[in-house]
Amino acid sequence: MFPKIQPDYVHTTQSGSRRTAVVLGVCLLLCLNETWTYLSNRYSYSSTVRVDTTTGQKLAIAGATFQSCCNTCDSLLAAYGKKGWNTRDVLNDSEQCLLEKRGQRKVALGQGCRLSGTMLVNKVAGNFHVAMGESMVRDGRHIHQFLPEDAPNYNVTHEV
């Protein structure tokens, strides 16, 4: 496959063979060291807690600390909104919102929005809409979440 190199082009020295032997020895040493490190179990993890009830000292716990989040219904809704998760069930099921009595209320028959006023817009393409439910952005799209069983009771008639 490969032709043999002619002897005229080959120059052999003893220093070249010594260098080759040293490089091969270093490579072998590194390979053996990596194999030894991989196979050895030098690491052991343990945790001990010493509790002395006679001196009345406080127990010091060293470990990971977590940010306090979601202690209120508003912070829980903000965290869900930041993640892009559905917040409809959170209002009815989470302990924070139940304690604050902030569950979603069903729409009464004929209930809708009362909007009045003016809007100043630029001459660019776009749209304006009024929709029921909670608006949020998911995957770069603006969506509204609402209870489907409330849709027949919602009055969307309007006059522009």
pLDDT, the chain, mean:
75
Q: Tell me how far apart the alpha carbons of residues 32 and 26 are, in angstroms, rounded to a whole number.
A: 10
Is residue 68 over pLDDT 90? no
Give pLDDT tens digits for 101-136: 665 556 566 565 666 677 777 777 777 777 777 777
pLDDT at position 9? 87
pLDDT at position 3? 87
Q: CB–CB of 144/131 below 8 Å?
A: yes
Q: Tell me how far apart the alpha carbons of residues 17 and 68 are, in angstroms, rounded to a whole number.
A: 66
Is residue 30 over pLDDT 90? yes
